[in-house]
Amino acid sequence: MDQEDRQKIERIIADRDHAHRRLLQGGSGVYKAFLDMEKAAYSPGSLPRAQKELIAVGIAVVINCESCMEWHIHQALLAGATEAQVLEALDVGIEFGGGPATVSTRFALKVLEYYR
């Protein structure tokens, strides 16, 4: 991974962390509700958290959300997903999203490399 890619990923992380703190400090009820919804959605149920994160990885590829790819790849790995499982989730995103999803996957692969 080159330095430019590393810096891009680190900027995404820093920007998200800054916005998170600012919204919480500002008392955003909508953002708080979003965090509550996120917590509920990724809590283990019939599917374990790692599988839910892998679903989100595939969706992030299809919608080309780089911040989403960074977050959900990292969360999937933290929840116990393997690199091979992340790669399969990327494959599902490619299949579902077609050609444009292959472009998104290029960034997702850089994120996976970043967390290696």
Q: pLDDT per residue over 50-61, tens digit each?
A: 999 999 999 999
Model-level pTM?
Answer: 0.90
Are the beta carbons of 79 and 51 closer than 8 angstroms? no
Tokens 């959900």, residue located: 72
Residue with structure tokens 């703190």? 21
Shortest CA distance to 93 belongs to which of 115, 112, 79, 116? 112
For 72-82, b/e burial (b = at least 16 CB within 10 A) is bbbbbbebebe
Output the pLDDT for position 105. 94
Domain 3-114 belongs to what architecture? Up-down Bundle (1.20)
DSSP 8-state code for residue 47: S
